[in-house]
Structure 1
């Protein structure tokens, strides 16, 4: 099961959004705190200025009226508010403390009763009464703040920009990962565009260089194998012709068998060296399996029985030539080294279509399973003289990967060898034109 944030892009999204949320919350708290401090300081400065202005007015022009909302009250007036409690809100408590710090020592500061216009009552040691001046309202934090709207807009814009940057960063890596997957499956891999940061460009350049060198080595090996196999066909044909003219029937049959074994090895060399995409027409696998088994029985009437268990249906299709080579190599391998009956199965699983061939022989030793698909490796030295070159399972694995699938070789719990090939749904049903276009078409589609 694929997790949504298991990719590089998903983890970049988590990191970016987490950092943005953390920074925005921190800035919001700092701004709110500083705004409250600024508001308190402004209210304190305004109150101190008004109190000093009233005192100057009383001292210099006592006969002149005071400005609106500014007044003096006698000490014994019943309107004088009570001494503030300790449970008043923290902003109001801080305002009173700051105001006392700015006024002379011994000044009594009180706030008017709730419900009226916000004002502060001040009585100093030299004042004959209470000086009442208005103050800026010190409101507690509101449930809704316009700053939250601005922060939400800034946060959304930053997230979109960060996601675009993360996508731009991971896109070259995704292309490189897809190319590595194709190269690992043995499929033709076009050069990956070198883009992104410097380290990523260097990595892509090294991968492209490695693909070119490996492809050149593969081409040289394929040309060598094909050339040797092709050059051997002519002398083998002459040997067979001369063997047919021999008078000794027993010797003639022995030579013909040896020539046929050598011809089979040459044919395997040619198939293994074949490195081009299969351009044959896709055919339903179930129907083609039935035809191949009928043809196999007709050509070799005395071979071991082959059972069919075909459950995939007509939706499972593969190129005809690839399917013929896969089944012919697997049937030859099962008949040569396995035990009857040989079972061909097709079915649909969660990962894709499955084509498997199994026998009921002894199977392969667990330590040798990893070497079973290596070219030119014979797990049984006694098999060397039977026209086998150690290429059968190697050809099967290469053909399966060329067709976009995966090959798994293992022993059955009840005995015998089982070769299972899994083909993804999008590969097994790919149109012929796209198959012939190869990976270049896939690259353009990304």
Structure 2
């Protein structure tokens, strides 16, 4: 599906319910616009038919009555006979019809001709034109006086007609008689009723539709929440299958997938536990055996290698089990937790300093895991930046730990890659200088398990580069929707 232009995208609803209601509203608007056009056209045709019927009846009556008057006064001059026939009837009589102006109405002319035949009057030709009321000849206008002004007196506030029909008919004698009739204006109440009808239709259709769409999409919202909170811990009950059949099938497929993922994670944990046990046991035996080595330098090298292997193994096991951590969330003072980690590195001789926090910074978290994330971040700052400056603060809806160092920083294009497993800024594989490459990976996994983030940012020095690196651990101050969401 092609994306909407940005100008329209701002107004397009993002939820399924909103899009369904908007689509229905647009369809109703289109249908009502078509209905409006038909109704207004019908009102227009009715007004035109009313005016043409009035004018045609006047000409038919005048023609039939004029024939009788003409037979009684054949000795009169022809012009006088015509004036006598139609005097006082707002009818014009002449050898030619009025000049053709306005818009011809052939259908109305045909109706008047048919009505004349039914009334016994034979018109040779009939012409009907819609004109502006001011263009009606004077002799065809409504007579003045008390009778002519009756409607004005009865409806003084009524809207005055602005259009008229000029109807001309040719008699059997060749003479033309013409008259005019006002076309009733569109009544404002008609438009008001159409608008009211539209509002009632919108309420009658859109409200039930919105209610039904909200109920239908409720299982989708529950499925989205469960997917976002999925932890593979195996403690969640299967999501209840409800809604239409296709949604039930989707929920059933999700429950089956969640069960398979949970089973696979469980098998992985069992396998990792066995691997950890099988590897640590011979490493412990090697540690005992190297005590018999006489060369102190060689013995220390062996011990360091064993310690490195144990450390890497511990990091791998911690990273792999984060998604199924058994530690409970607890209300913890993050500033006090950071202080304990800072004191650990300070006791080992590290150049680390903690800024005095502005009071306690309380959050719901897993203290053991967060302490491990802080150790990794502060340890990286001391390894690559020589010193670490730590600060803890509270921001809107979250708590923040910021660690700054004075190292060379990281190439901006490589910052995101530093969070990948076994990625290291230091090119060598020496654990003493570069670590195992899992510290940032574990720190980010722990943050995500709490619904938070870990980010790195270079700081510019005096010459614009080499100002050190800032690592930020941001955690929500309130517990996430489901505890334990993270990398499995």
- SS of 2:401's equivalent in the other structure is strand
- SS of 1:372's equivalent in the other structure is helix
* Residue segments in structure 2 that go unaligned for 5+ positions in a row: 1-8, 69-82, 117-122, 129-139, 153-165
Give yes or no for contact 1:345–1:356 (8 Å, CA) kept in 2.
yes
Displacement, 1:279? 0.7
Question: Matched residues in 2 for 1:106 and 1:289: separation?
Answer: 104
Picking from 22, 25, 31, the partner of 2:33 is 25
Distance 1:385 1:106, change over 3 A: closer
- SS of 1:283's equivalent in the other structure is strand
Distance 1:351 1:24, change over 3 A: farther
Q: Which has the larger radius of gyration?
A: 2
Picking from 452, 467, 472, the partner of 1:405 is 452
Q: How does 1:215-294 map to 2 (within 5 A)?
A: 215-243=262-290, 249-274=296-321, 275-277=323-325, 278-294=327-343
Indicate the residue corresponding to 1:105 in structure 2.
124
Question: Matched residues in 1 for 2:333 and 2:99: separation?
Answer: 88
Give yes or no for contact 2:452–2:474 (8 Å, CA) kept in 1.
yes
Give yes or no for contact 1:44–1:98 (8 Å, CA) kept in 2.
no
Question: Matched residues in 2 for 1:12 and 1:245: separation?
Answer: 78
Question: Matched residues in 1 for 2:127 and 2:298: separation?
Answer: 132
Give yes or no for contact 2:126–2:167 (8 Å, CA) kept in 1.
no
- SS of 1:144's equivalent in the other structure is helix
Picking from 144, 153, 173, the partner of 2:189 is 144
Indicate the residue corresponding to 1:36 in structure 2.
44
Indicate the residue corresponding to 1:346 in structure 2.
392
Please give the per-residue CA displacement for 1:379-404, whole angstroms capped at 9, x wherever unaligned. Answer: 54523444943321111111111111
Give yes or no for contact 1:112–1:121 (8 Å, CA) kept in 2.
no
Picking from 123, 139, 160, the partner of 2:207 is 160
- SS of 2:419's equivalent in the other structure is coil
Give yes or no for contact 2:333–2:361 (8 Å, CA) kept in 1.
yes
Distance 1:314 1:362, change over 3 A: same
Give yes or no for contact 1:279–1:435 (8 Å, CA) kept in 2.
no
Give yes or no for contact 1:284–1:318 (8 Å, CA) kept in 2.
no
Displacement, 1:248? 5.5
Give yes or no for contact 1:358–1:418 (8 Å, CA) kept in 2.
yes
Indicate the residue corresponding to 2:72 in structure 1.
none
TM-score w.r.t. length of structure 1: 0.70
Please give the per-residue CA displacement for 1:209-249, whole angstroms capped at 9, x wherever unaligned. Answer: 66555555444433322322233334444444455576665
Give yes or no for contact 1:306–1:344 (8 Å, CA) kept in 2.
yes
Indicate the residue corresponding to 1:75 in structure 2.
85
Indicate the residue corresponding to 2:405 in structure 1.
359
- SS of 2:470's equivalent in the other structure is strand
Question: Matched residues in 2 for 1:294 and 1:255: separation?
Answer: 30
- SS of 1:358's equivalent in the other structure is strand
Structure 2 residue 340 is matched with structure 1 residue 332: no
Distance 1:152 1:435, change over 3 A: closer
Indicate the residue corresponding to 1:418 in structure 2.
470
Indicate the residue corresponding to 1:68 in structure 2.
none
Question: Matched residues in 2 for 1:139 and 1:80: separation?
Answer: 18
Displacement, 1:324? 1.0
Displacement, 1:285? 1.6
Question: Matched residues in 1 for 2:66 and 2:421: separation?
Answer: 111
Question: Matched residues in 2 for 1:366 and 1:213: separation?
Answer: 39
Please give the per-residue CA displacement for 1:10-48, whole angstroms capped at 9, x wherever unaligned. Answer: 455444433322321221121121233245446656876
Give yes or no for contact 2:25–2:202 (8 Å, CA) kept in 1.
no
Question: Matched residues in 2 for 1:253 and 1:271: separation?
Answer: 27
TM-score w.r.t. length of structure 2: 0.65
Distance 1:345 1:205, change over 3 A: farther
Distance 1:394 1:209, change over 3 A: farther
